[in-house]
Amino acid sequence: MENSNQASLTSYNPPPITNHQSQITKQMKKVGISGQNGFVGYQLYQTLKLYKEEFFLIDFERRFFEDEVALDAFVSKCDVIVHLAALNRHNEPEVIYEVNTVLVKKLVASLERTKSQAHVMISSSTQEDRDNLYGKSKKEGRLLLSDWASRAGGSFTGMVIPNVFGPFGHPFYNSVVATFCHQVSHNETPKIDVDGHLKLIYVGELVEGGKGQAGSLVDSRWKMGERKSRLRLRLRLRLGLRKLRVEQ
């Protein structure tokens, strides 16, 4: 005899995907960010998450660079790849150069294996023009990816960025402003390694620029401070001075 108190089980059929929903999914750009947990990468990742109808994020893990299969799977899913993974500081400059160039070469190899035509963006540095191995590694990485795009028919943006400052910057690692603030707040005397004017950009404005580039398929070499736009850091208005100069 059937128990009338027993709840009946019925199967659930989800509503079909409408043409409108399908079109939105197809229009979304699938974006992967190497170094997504870093200073700039984390903030870019969190910002793109706010635009759910524009971007679908493909998660990246550091181990992918040691696993060709995993790296290829990541690359093949992406319409846009923002390469931010890099080594910024090390006691031996040769290690910085080796790590940064090897990471780019691994990414290029994966792009070639998967026959990707993604829009690839890389963060370089205004230190490209300086005589140091960090700047050399960033410039070579940018040129390697630019060459790949020319051969493969992909799109490429090289972001040549000055010193970045803002929330979650780490003293003595990725932000000279964070280092300066840390030392002053701990009653330490800041040390001047190179006495001169310092070009800066706020991380929030950099991320806005990165978001705009991620939504574009136009090849470019984007050098902050070279062109007038709302994304240029305007320290004269915000901080009362155009450039930061640390005086003894």
Specify whether the CB–CB gap between 215 and 221 falls below 8 A: no
Between strands 80-83 and 55-58, the pairing is unpaired
pLDDT of residue 216: 56
pLDDT of residue 139: 94
* Separation of alpha carbons 243 and 248, rounded Å: 16
Closest CA to 162 of 94, 235, 219: 235
Sign of the dihedral defined by the CA atoms of residues 203, 208, 209, 215, in that order: positive
Q: In degrees, to the nearest 5, what angle opens at C-alpha 215 toward C-alphas 40 and 235?
A: 45
Specify whether the CB–CB gap between 131 and 167 falls below 8 A: no
- DSSP assigned state of 128: G
pLDDT of residue 215: 58
Specify whether the CB–CB gap between 202 and 165 falls below 8 A: yes
- DSSP assigned state of 153: T
Helix, strand, or coil here: 219? coil
Residue type, 225: G
Helix, strand, or coil here: 212? helix
pLDDT of residue 69: 98
pLDDT tens track, the chain, 248 positions? 444 444 444 444 545 545 544 444 557 899 999 999 988 889 899 999 998 889 999 999 999 999 999 999 999 999 999 999 999 888 899 999 999 999 999 999 999 999 999 999 998 888 888 889 999 999 999 999 999 999 998 889 998 887 887 777 767 666 677 777 777 888 888 877 776 677 777 777 777 777 766 655 444 444 444 333 333 333 332 333 333 333 32
* Separation of alpha carbons 38 and 50, rounded Å: 18
pLDDT of residue 77: 97
Structure tokens at 36: 């997504």
pLDDT of residue 64: 97
Strands (E), 25-113: 29-34, 55-58, 80-83
pLDDT of residue 196: 67
Greatest alpha-carbon span in the chain: 92
* Separation of alpha carbons 14 and 223, rounded Å: 48
Cα-only R_g, the chain: 22
pLDDT of residue 18: 53
